[in-house]
Structure 1
Amino acid sequence: MTADESSTPVGPVRSTGPAEPVSQAGPDAPAEPELEVGVGPWPGEWPRDHHYDPELLAQGDRRNVVDRYRYWRREAIVADLDLRRHGFHVAIENWQHDFNIGTVVRNANAFLAAEVHIVGLRRWNRRGAMVTDRYQHVRHHPTIEEFAAWAAAAGLPIIGIDNLPGSRAMETVTLPRECVLIFGQEGPGLSDAARAACSALFSIAQYGSTRSINAGVASGIAMHSWVRAHAGPPPG
């Protein structure tokens, strides 16, 4: 996808008037309590199921995981997710250390993609993934040609998501149940080689003044479109 026009830094905003106080409370007002994430140590007798991590049971589980995975070992969570992963994969080109990759991985975890494929540079900024890369399978392909060869061997059509001339509106089609959704580098979008490898190109409808949305946002929209077509409700 092409670069978001609002990404250009504009510098600090200066005020010409007096600063507005942050709070009207007096100096002796009680501090607001900090919200704790997760759960504390397991109360009572520990469960004996092999899914549970003794260290987490003893110290508490502050990870960003759903309640059904509280106190579980990471390997046990991944194994359980593997039983339910969806039929779509996600790929993103990485020629300039795109900061959107972390968001794409986080979205792939949220929508339970089979795998994330990073095409190009192996290194990527993991901060945006918010640790979800520990639970999501991520595969690296040095070139588009190698990625395309892998997809062909796996029998998966490559579906490009970009607002290119000739792209069909994604809102008018149903994404294939088994496929790879590929997103381009922030700025130039899909490379010529990636476009040539795609069996179809779809665009996301936009109604405002900006020319594009970034790849991280586009990936979430596309994955949710797949989920609406092919997935049932998530487990309780």
Structure 2
Amino acid sequence: MTNDNRRRGHGRDERADKRPEGAPAGDICWGRNPVIALLEGDPERCMKVLIAKSAQPHIKAKITELCRANGIIFQNVESAALDRLTDGENHQGVAAYTAQMKLWEPEELLASLPAAPSPALILLCDHLQDPHNLGAVIRSAEAAGAAAVMIPKRGGCLPTGTVVKTSAGAALRLPVVKVGNVSQTIKMLQEADFWVTGLAMEGRDTLFREDLPPRSAIVVGAEGEGLGNAVAKACDDIRFIPMQGTTGSLNASVAASIAMFEWTRSLGKNNK
């Protein structure tokens, strides 16, 4: 099948882009059999499934059952939405967003880390919306020595090809963990002996007041909105980054980077 003028955003030569029907194009997989095969054989790469409201009931039941079994978000949409998403391809009422990397589960990540009191850093994103910001966060996290970056399954940007590209490939090397409720994830981290520090201009103390603990989780909020109220309350501490100018706030990825490298500095100081 020739894909003509589709998927230009992925930088392909469309005249040479020939693949089986429903094969992943960038970050999208469509068609009943390809999506079912993805859910059965490689579910860790599936981020979200869209099902047409008009899809055949037995197909809808099978796909939703697979999604529930694997903890994958699914959404019922109008068929026209899938037409737009797949550029008019024969999607057969179903499409899925795919990731170029494995997406870890929180329990899996924590089980892979050295037990407390061994040092470790985790960055938890509270619904970042911009894939460029998420890519920059992941790139900085790897450079700072973080163990993983956690992102919510709902309400934030997904780790698409744009994220991988912006991260300079770090998203393929550093564990990216999909989580459900961010506040509950904070509690899970606290139970694993992580000290959880949220970043917000309303923080009680400056980020640099005292060293960050060797076993730390840093929480960065969404662009423009910052940390949610429930998330902020769940944190052990809220700190702010002092600024001299009149901008008012830092880009989310910049704030996260400063905090992560402050942890790196603190760890190096304490290990001397």
TM range (shorter): 0.5 to 0.7
Distance across 2 between alignment mates of 1:110 and 1:173: 22
2:100 matched residue in structure 1: none
SS at match of 1:140: strand
Gaps of 5+ in 1: 1-81
Question: Hey, what's the Cα distance between the residues in 1 that align with 2:132 and 2:255?
Answer: 14
**Partner of residue 168, structure 1:** 205
Provide the TM-score with structure 1 as the length reference. 0.58
User: Which residue matches 1:87?
Assistant: 120
**Contact 1:86-1:113 at 8 Å conserved across structures:** no
- The Cα of 1:216 is off from its aligned counterpart by 0.6
Task: Report the Cα offset of residue 227 of structure 1.
Answer: 1.1
| 8 A Cα contact 1:117 1:139, kept in partner | yes
Q: Corresponding residue for 1:31?
A: none
Q: Any idea what SS the aligned residue of 2:145 has?
A: coil
Report the Cα offset of residue 148 of structure 1.
Answer: 2.0
More helix by share: 2
Q: How many residues are aligned here?
A: 149
Alpha-carbon distance between aligned partners in 1 of 2:234 and 2:131, rounded to the nearest angstrom: 21
How many Å separate the matches in 2 of 1:145 and 1:219? 18
- Matched AA of 2:150: H
Amino acid at match of 1:123: L
- Three-state SS of the structure 2 residue aligned to 1:196 is helix
Question: What letter corresponds to residue 204 of structure 1 in structure 2?
Answer: I
Does the 8 Å contact 1:88/1:179 carry over to 2? yes
Question: Can you list the C-alpha shifts for 1:119-176, whole angstroms capped at 9, x where unaligned?
Answer: 3437235132121111101111121233123213312121001111x43111221111
Q: Secondary structure at the match of 2:208?
A: helix
Greater C-alpha radius of gyration: 1
Task: Tell me the TM-score normalised to structure 2 length.
Answer: 0.50
Q: 1:123 aligns with which of 158, 176, 185?
A: 158
Task: Determine which structure has greater relative contact order: mean sequence separation of CA pairs < 8 Å that are 6+ residues apart, divided by chain length.
Answer: 1
RMSD between aligned residues = 2.3
Say which SS state the counterpart of residue 212 (structure 1) adopts. Answer: coil
How far, CA to CA, are the matches of 2:218 and 2:174 in structure 1?
16
- Distance in 1 of aligned mates of 2:210 and 2:132: 29
Contact in 1 for aligned 2:128/2:221 (Cα 8 Å)? no
Return the alpha-carbon distance in structure 1 between the equivalents of residues 193 and 225 of structure 2.
28
Deviations 1:207-234, CA, capped at 9 Å, x for gaps: 01100001111111111111111137xx
Q: Output the CA distance in 1 between the equivalents of 2:167 and 2:213.
A: 26
Task: Please state which structure has a larger fraction of its residues in strand.
Answer: 2
Letter in 2 for 1:113: A
State whether residues 214 and 263 of structure 2, in contact with CA within 8 Å, keep that contact through their aligned partners in structure 1. yes
Partners in 2 of 1:183 and 1:135 — Cα distance? 21
- Runs of 5+ unmatched residues, structure 2: 1-112
- Percent sequence identity is 26
